[in-house]
């Protein structure tokens, strides 16, 4: 039994070493460079609407983030919501990997709904361009965007 096991190991090692020593095929065509495509593409819902046309929690989130002066952080950060025990997360970079928002933008993402510490976040976000202050709402975690024409102002 031991001899058979040793022979299998020797055979496997020999096969491995043979594969390592084999010259690479010089006539093989180079592999094509992979093209990176978005995993999913969001829909941008038209037209842009004033914040008053969005659900009430969007208007409230705009007020919270304005009061916090639209903070900017390298990581998602929880911020206390004034006069409550709730927190709201945001201020980190939104990379716009799907390219659904204007490509020249510099975006930050912000939660819409405050929550208790330790609770899971939901899917609602606002995404704000740092330079133009244009704001988009997504109620389904970046599957659809709709611009808030007033920019939460």
One DSSP character per residue, 64-103 reads: HHHHTT----SS-EEEEPTTSS-EEEEEEEE--TT--S-T
Mean pLDDT across 135-145:
96
Which pTM does this prediction carry?
Answer: 0.72
Class of the 43-148 domain? alpha beta
Mean pLDDT across 107-119:
97
The pLDDT value recorded for residue 30 is: 53
Are 39 and 98 contacting, i.e. CB atoms less than 8 angstroms apart?
yes
The pLDDT value recorded for residue 24 is: 47
Residue 103 has pLDDT above 90, yes or no: yes
Angular region, 69: left φ>0, alpha ψ -120 to 50, beta rest = left
The pLDDT value recorded for residue 43 is: 80
The pLDDT value recorded for residue 116 is: 98
The residues spanned by each domain of the chain are 43-148
Which 3 state secondary structure label does DSSP give 122? coil
Are 133 and 153 contacting, i.e. CB atoms less than 8 angstroms apart?
yes
- What's the mean per-residue pLDDT of the chain? 82
Q: Which residue has the higher pLDDT, 93 or 14?
A: 93
The Cα–Cα gap between 60 and 47 comes to 21
The pLDDT value recorded for residue 65 is: 97
Q: Which residue has the higher pLDDT, 131 or 13?
A: 131
The pLDDT value recorded for residue 29 is: 53
Structure tokens at 129: 């361009």
Q: Pinpoint the alpha helices (H) of 98-151.
A: none
Beta partners for residue 56, in sequence order: none
The pLDDT value recorded for residue 84 is: 95
């Amino acid at each position: 039994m031991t001899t058979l096991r040793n022979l299998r190991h020797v055979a496997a090692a020999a096969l491995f070493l043979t594969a390592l020593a084999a010259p690479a095929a010089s006539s093989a065509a180079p592999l094509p460079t992979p093209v990176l495509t978005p995993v999913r593409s969001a829909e941008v819902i038209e037209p842009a609407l004033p914040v008053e046309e969005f659900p009430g929690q969007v208007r409230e989130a705009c007020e919270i983030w304005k009061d916090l002066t639209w903070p900017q952080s390298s990581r998602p950060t929880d911020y206390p919501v004034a006069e409550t025990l709730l927190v709201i997360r945001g201020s980190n970079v939104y990379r716009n990997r799907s390219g659904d928002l204007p490509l020249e933008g510099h975006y930050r993402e912000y939660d819409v709904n405050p929550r208790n510490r330790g609770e899971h976040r939901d899917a609602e976000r606002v995404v704000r361009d740092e330079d133009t202050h244009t704001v988009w709402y997504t109620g389904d975690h970046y599957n659809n965007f709709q611009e808030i024409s007033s920019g939460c102002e």
